[in-house]
Amino acid sequence: SAVISQKPSRDICQRGTSLTIQCQVDSQVTMMFWYRQQPGQSLTLIATANQGSEATYESGFVIDKFPISRPNLTFSTLTVSNMSPEDSSIYLCSVRSGGSNYGYTFGSGTRLTVV
Amino acid sequence: QKEVEQDPGPLSVPEGAIVSLNCTYSNSAFQYFMWYRQYSRKGPELLMYTYSSGNKEDGRFTAQVDKSSKYISLFIRDSQPSDSATYLCAMSAVQGAQKLVFGQGTRLTINP
């Protein structure tokens, strides 16, 4: 299955600033997925990123707050903009596991704390 | 009501015990069911998946699906300290669906 490198692994940011999270996959993939995992909550899909097109956002998430780039088939970034303490969470990127119709491979996540 | 409900625990059991982890769901369209294991400061990793109702066994792990009750379970036999992790159930209605619906995870600790 694919190997995902995600960075930074953690960060502490001031409110009102922005943080860009990078996700690098060791193989070409059509779709990359960005999830948020809030403390005590389930993983929630933020958006799906396809190379060469605009990301598709889930209900409750907007491009202005979470702009996504997908410049090629192995790389994507998620920016958390104008951060507030409510954005403190773990952010994970994910791709569909190679040859699997069910499973997804996740990066190690970015633990974000907004102060 | 959440689509998927999972007791967050924490659950603490002695080494060697049989562990039962469960999720209930409300969407009768769900047909594909997964269990993920997430170690501290790591991303979730796929542990098991099942389609429709029935059992699936893989070593010390058994996944059960009861669609009539909208209830899925993961059993861990002969639990080991290395099984200590958060276990998340996930499900979808469509094979290879882009969007998985996750439970909130159960934090499990196996005590030596």
Tell me the residue length of chain A.
115
pLDDT tens figures, B56-87: 999 999 999 999 999 999 999 999 999 999 99
pLDDT at A97: 72
By C-alpha distance, the chain B residue nearest A2 is B45
Give which of B20, B3, B2 is closest to B11, Cα–Cα. Answer: B20
Residue A102's pLDDT band, with cuts at 50, 70 and 90, is: low
**Residue contact A42–B43, C-beta within 8 A:** no
Nearest to B4 among A9, A31, A42 (CB): A42
Strand partners, A7: A22
Nearest to A102 among B34, B43, B105 (CB): B34
By C-alpha distance, the chain A residue nearest B3 is A42
Q: How many CA atoms lie within 13 A of A9 on its CB side?
A: 6
Residue B97's pLDDT band, with cuts at 50, 70 and 90, is: low
Nearest to B49 among A41, A103, A109 (CB): A103
Contact B108, B11 (CB under 8 A): yes
CB burial of residue A108 (10 Å; 0-12, 13-18, 19+) = middle
Average pLDDT, integer, range A74-95: 96
**Residue contact B103–A94, C-beta within 8 A:** no
Greater model confidence, A100 or A52 = A52
DSSP structure class, residue B93: S
Distances B35 to A21, A79, B106 between C-alpha atoms, Å: 26, 29, 11
β-strands A104-106, A89-96 pairing: antiparallel
**Radius of gyration over every alpha carbon of chain A, rounded to an integer in angstroms:** 13
Contacts of B4 in chain A (CB under 8 A): 42
Instruction: Number of A to B CB contacts under 8 A, please give it.
Output: 62
pLDDT tens figures, A47-78: 999 888 889 999 999 999 999 999 999 999 99
By C-alpha distance, the chain A residue nearest B35 is A103
